[in-house]
Amino acid sequence: MENLDVMVLRTLRDWRQAGRRALLSTVVRTWGSSPRPIGSIMALAEDGAVVGSVSGGCIEDDLIARYSRAHGGDGAMPSGAPALVKYGITADEAHRFGLPCGGTLELLLEHDPDAEALDELVRALEQGRLVRRSVRLADGQVTFDRAAACVIGRPSVKSFCTRVPRGDATAPVGRDDRVGRVADERGEALGGGGTAPVSRTFC
């Protein structure tokens, strides 16, 4: 069975190579119960086509309504630097988007990801390489580097973290899904300066 992440990224690459506008949505943080784990991704094309999932339903529908022309809507696909959006901040919103009680999630939206960078990532994953993809929040610049090995026997399980500045260094914030532990509880630092890179490991 093909890895879902690769399928999402390959489809997004094909859209962008064909000149279609699109966005990549990634779950970067969660509070309480969440229908999808940190690191889950979804691609949305300007005509409303979707591949992948960040919630299992209602949030996808909201993103389609906001950022596509599906169903005769007038949603506009944004451009520019990536954006961080939260769902489920209030109880009413959590209910409306089908989130579990107390559940909140934050998404990173990347507008019109670069087709060449996506192709580089897809080719690396098709060759079985483990890649960390980092996105600079200030301008959406993407970089790749070799990541640590996947957990033996669980090659398709994701590792995800965000990184925020701390003096001259960077401090990991978020959850490592390979070991199911919180790496750092200072999640509110994410996006504080709008320049910290957000990283996601694909394997």
In this prediction, residue 172 carries a pLDDT of: 34
Quote the mean pLDDT of the chain: 74
DSSP string, 123-162: HHHHTT--EEEEEETTT--EEEEE-PPPPTT-TT--EEEE
Q: Contact, 52 vs 42, CB < 8 A?
A: yes
Query: How confident is the model over 136-180, as pLDDT tens digits?
Result: 998 999 999 887 654 433 333 334 443 333 333 333 333 333 322
Which amino acid, one-letter code, is at 51?
V
Q: Contact, 148 vs 134, CB < 8 A?
A: no
Query: Does the pLDDT value for residue 14 go beyond 70?
Result: yes
Query: How confident is the model over 99-122, as pLDDT tens digits?
Result: 665 578 899 999 999 999 999 999
3-state class percentages of the chain: helix first, strand second, coil last, to nearest 5: 25, 35, 45
Q: Where exactly are the structural domains of the chain?
A: 4-111, 129-202
DSSP state of 112: S
3-state secondary structure of 203: coil
Q: What are the Cα distances from residue 121, in Å, to 54, 134, 170?
A: 20, 11, 24
